[in-house]
Structure 1
Amino acid sequence: MDLDDLHIFRTVVREGGVTRAAERLHRVQSNVTTRVQQLEAALGVVLFHREGRRLVLAPAGHLLLGYADRLLDLAEQARAAMHGSEPRGRLRLGSMESTAAARLPGSLARFHVAHPKVQLELRTAPTAALIADVLDGRLDAALVCAPVDTERLDVLPLWQEELVLIAPATQGPMRSARELQTRTLLTFGAGCAYRLRLESWLAAEGVTPERIVEMGSYHAILGCVAAGMGMALVPRVLLSADPQAVLSVHPLGRADHAVATTVLVHRRGAGMPALQALADQLVADTQVVATVSGGTA
């Protein structure tokens, strides 16, 4: 078993099969298949179950994937260390969708110009999934909503977000959380930190919503709220990133539920020059925004 074998194996998993993995690796399919079979023979286990032309990761494959991620990450860090402190190589960043839309475009553009040797990959997902991927080595770092309950991560606070309720433009002032009892609430699925904030706020007010509709993007949520389908809880900064939606905005009645801190997390002891450079860029941009606004970003 060598690093090249692990790289091929991981690529097959990520691409969902040999055909796409071969395209990504610029190899012929038969070579990829042979290397996977050789890896299985060397380890004495079955890594994939073959269902026709489809590969399904076996339990041993799931176990190996975690080790492969860590070993390949360490190899990348070793290569970077041999070239000094210059940021280079692949940097896999995760982010909540709202943060990616409203906070990251300018910062990532500046980072891309300043560090052309870094291959940046960005994936959006809810907070719980992002933290799991960082801990399992599938992401190098992620922007998530605090608090982060783990001793295995380093945490860098970046932004304070004000969470607000959004409703159709015709909605009048909201006097009480009980007005949401009969309203449809639009949210992301389980694992979304802002959804947990909404549910916690409503539970504190003794409110159980009659209907929750899960959606996969903030663009869909904003559009459906504007069309009159329901209400949602979003960071206020997101509204400036999508000014086309015609909405009414309503502050929460509970300050302890209305403020959320966005933090950058990565595995403790797994820092590398590219990640440090990104953290420095985000901190610098956060300070600029705070100075311009005269307060906390």
Structure 2
Amino acid sequence: MKNAVTNFRHLYYFWVVAKEGSITRAAERLNLAIQTVSSQITLLEQSLGKSLFTQQGRRLVLSEAGRLALTYADQIFLLGEQMQDALDQSSTLRTRLSVGISDSLPKLTAYRLLEAATRLPTPVRLVCSEDQYEALLADLALHKLDVVLTDRALPSGGTLRVFSHMLFESEMTVVGTADLAKIYAQDFPKKLNGAPFLLPTRNNALRVKIDEWFELQGVHPDVVGEFEDNALLNTFGRRGLGLFFAPAALAGDLLEQLQALLVGRVPEVREQFYAILNERKIQHPAVEAILSAAQHGGLGGG
């Protein structure tokens, strides 16, 4: 018979087992006997009237009911963690800002955007997570994140109740080390035919625009590397492996941090940057500071 109230200790054991993928690892994490954890899961299943796991060979996998229960457990125990963080912050006087950073977003851009949050009168504790765009949106919908910083807007027709706020856009430039800039800056962009290039992979929104620009210019570059991670692309660019594209708004940072010199401007290719939130109205003071700085010339001058 189903109980009216879920035992949250049992639910917590279920959550740990689901996260660890096995009762044995969950028991080690909880410092409990395997039999204890197993019996608590059984009691929870009896309480709910549903089987939460199925056995596939040696693997323990979530049933359909288990997957549904996990989505709620995620939110319940995340709220508990956030409550503890809030209590911790009340003594340190720091406001917590959980930021998801898309792996395709230039790290210099992320730094410039987040810099505005660090200048608030109330100190901010940044908690930054980098992941793929879709994974970050899922975490945002579950309130694991306060904001996602990315280089693409939300797709139309999505089911998640999250909202895009455009921060700024910048025209792109082609940059490279001093040796490469000396060779390819003259007669730009015709000189780029056969030039070594480091490009984002084809699942990146910017790559489509770059390929269209190359075709329009009649330029056939020598693509020596394709990267999902922008920071890795920049590292190879700094070592002189090839030319690469970068936002004009970051020209000063590129010279200072990557020793990358301007080869040529590409006004036909523009990159947009977005903040994605759970609410239309900005409520977090640090997020409000980020949007205000970006929209009032703090970054996007290109």
TM-score tier (shorter): 0.5 to 0.7
| Equivalent residues in 2 for 1:245-256, closer than 5 Å | 245-253=258-266, 255-256=267-268
1:125 CA displacement: 3.5
- How many residues are matched? 276
1:211 CA displacement: 3.2
Call closer, same or farther: CA 1:88–1:229 in 2, change over 3 Å. Answer: closer
Q: Rg larger in 1 or in 2?
A: 2
1:165 is aligned, of 174, 183, 188, to 174
| Equivalent residues in 2 for 1:212-251, closer than 5 Å | 213-215=225-227, 217-236=229-248, 237=250, 240=253, 243-251=256-264
CA distance in 1, matches of 2:73, 2:244: 40
Equivalent residues of 2:193, 2:220 under 8 A apart: yes
The aligned amino acid for 2:207 is R
1:230 CA displacement: 1.4
Query: Is 1:197–2:209 an aligned residue pair?
Result: yes
1:61 CA displacement: 5.6
Q: Decide which moves more: 201-210 or 226-235.
A: 201-210
In structure 1, the residue matched to 2:274 is: 263
CA distance in 1, matches of 2:297, 2:23: 46
Equivalent residues of 2:193, 2:221 under 8 A apart: yes
In structure 1, the residue matched to 2:291 is: 283
In structure 1, the residue matched to 2:154 is: 148
The aligned amino acid for 2:147 is A
Query: Is 1:125–2:134 an aligned residue pair?
Result: no
1:148 CA displacement: 2.8
The aligned amino acid for 1:222 is N
* RMSD of aligned alpha carbons: 4.7
1:228 CA displacement: 2.4
1:266 CA displacement: 2.0
In structure 2, the residue matched to 1:186 is: 198
Q: Decide which moves more: 153-162 or 87-96.
A: 87-96
SS in 2 for 1:114: coil
Taking structure 2 as the reference length, the TM-score comes to: 0.64
Note the alpha carbon deviations across 1:161-208, whole angstroms, 9 max, x for none: 332222232233164556555344324445433334323433444556
CA distance in 1, matches of 2:255, 2:10: 44
The aligned amino acid for 1:248 is L
Call closer, same or farther: CA 1:178–1:288 in 2, change over 3 Å. Answer: closer
Taking structure 1 as the reference length, the TM-score comes to: 0.65
Amino-acid identity (%): 21
Call closer, same or farther: CA 1:125–1:190 in 2, change over 3 Å. Answer: farther
2:51 is aligned, of 35, 44, 49, to 44
Note the alpha carbon deviations across 1:210-258, whole angstroms, 9 max, x for none: 53523464443233223221122222417516724332323444x342x
The aligned amino acid for 1:102 is Y
Call closer, same or farther: CA 1:12–1:246 in 2, change over 3 Å. Answer: farther
Equivalent residues of 1:186, 1:221 under 8 A apart: yes
